[in-house]
């Protein structure tokens, strides 16, 4: 196995940001991953793991070693007649894995259909959509501790991963852990979640099953989010902010149409896309980057913008929303 030097990463990130990796490895098994990590350590180089490139903002040059995760594999391990564990390589495509679980007759992940990226990236971000989060089905991940003396591989259980909304122990400790596989426990008799967002409307006059829910989610996402092959983007760019009950009531006085979802008795999630739209950014474009015309939550790179262009626009949007609503926005993608 040999590294490559000065590799163009433009086609390996969905924002299509022009970026060069100083050193580059593509790894297909754990031994190759350890070899790449050992090379970085021996040469005192930093390490950046790249999966599907759907949730990162890359600089023009990534110093050190970029490791593209391509570890594949799917194992279905029955626990009993209705429950099974799915043990999946970190480099597997997330959406293809979701479809695979449905083909095997196991619901649970259908609300997370068509989310771009790899299986290994999903727990880091605790990806979620339509009332479901990865943490709900994930039982454990196998990781390599990059900071350990022998690059040890071990297992972290769900309860050790400190999951929060779009966050986890893995994201809070960037550069420490590399996921090699993830295990999901699914139940053939798990109830379907069909009331979140516009999914219920899309299921009217349809026989409801995990597959039809998946199809409704796919249709909903396609109607709102641009295909990265048509226009480069990183999907939802901002997290939905969480506010207190009192803050929501204050907002409703000035903005009675504010969109919110109850999280618990004292907190509510606001629709970041609505806030951005009301602040006047929906459909905005400058000479390089902009905001999608159909979904204000999505920033697009329509003319070879670089990370500074994307982050500069995100900053302007955040300042504008905070000035108008008194609510701070936080971006979802990882800034390298």
- Residue 78 belongs to domain spanning: 74-221
Cβ atoms 273, 263 nearer than 8 A: no
Q: Is 92 a catalytic residue?
A: no
Strand partners, 144: 153, 178
Q: Is 35 a catalytic residue?
A: no
Tens digits of residue pLDDT in 160-216: 999 998 899 999 999 899 999 999 999 999 999 998 878 889 998 889 999 999 999
Pick the last residue of a domain from 69, 84, 114.
69
Pick the last residue of a domain from 49, 69, 89.
69
Please give the pLDDT value at position 158.
98
pLDDT classification of 1: cutoffs 50, 70, 90: confident
Please give the pLDDT value at position 263.
87
Q: Is 223 a catalytic residue?
A: no
- Provide, for the chain, the percentages of residues in helix, strand and coil under a 3-state DSSP scheme, each rounded to the nearest 5: 30, 30, 40
Q: Which of 41, 166, 185, 221 is catalytic?
A: 166
Same structural domain, 22 and 62: yes
Same structural domain, 85 and 209: yes
Q: Which of 236, 260, 307, 318 is catalytic?
A: 236
Same structural domain, 59 and 192: no
Q: The domain spanning residue 20 has which CATH number?
A: 3.30.43.10
Distance CA 288, CA 310 (A): 9
């Amino acid at each position: 196995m040999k590294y490559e030097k000065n590799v163009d990463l433009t086609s390996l990130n969905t924002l299509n940001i022009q970026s060069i990796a100083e050193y580059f490895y593509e790894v297909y098994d754990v031994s190759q991953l350890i070899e790449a990590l050992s090379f970085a350590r021996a040469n005192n180089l930093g390490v950046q793991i790249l999966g599907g490139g759907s949730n990162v903002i890359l600089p023009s040059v990534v110093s050190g070693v970029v490791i593209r995760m391509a570890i594949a594999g799917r194992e279905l391990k029955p626990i009993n007649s209705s429950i099974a564990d799915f043990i999946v390589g970190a480099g597997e495509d997330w959406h293809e894995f979701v479809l695979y679980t449905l083909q095997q007759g196991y619901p649970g992940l259908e609300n997370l259909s068509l989310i771009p990226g790899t299986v290994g990236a999903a727990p880091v971000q605790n990806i979620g959509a339509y009332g479901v989060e990865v943490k709900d089905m994930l039982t454990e991940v196998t990781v390599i501790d990059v900071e350990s003396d022998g690059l040890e591989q071990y297992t972290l259980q769900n309860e050790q991963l400190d999951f929060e909304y779009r966050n986890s122990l893995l994201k809070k400790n960037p550069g420490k852990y590399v996921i090699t596989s993830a295990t999901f426990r699914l139940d053939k008799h798990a109830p379907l979640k069909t009331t979140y967002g516009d999914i219920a409307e899309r299921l009217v006059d349809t026989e409801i099953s995990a597959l039809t829910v998946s199809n409704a989610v796919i249709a909903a996402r396609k109607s709102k989010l641009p295909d990265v092959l048509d226009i480069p983007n990183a999907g939802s760019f901002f997290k939905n902010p969480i506010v207190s009950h009192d803050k929501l009531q204050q907002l409703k006085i000035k903005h009675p149409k504010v969109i919110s979802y109850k999280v618990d008795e004292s907190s509510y999630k606001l629709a970041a896309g609505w806030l951005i739209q009301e602040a006047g950014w929906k459909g905005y474009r400058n000479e390089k980057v902009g905001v999608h015309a159909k979904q204000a939550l999505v920033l697009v790179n329509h003319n070879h913008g670089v990370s500074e262009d994307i982050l500069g626009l995100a900053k302007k949007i955040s300042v504008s929303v905070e000035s108008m609503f008194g609510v701070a926005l936080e971006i979802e993608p990882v800034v390298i």
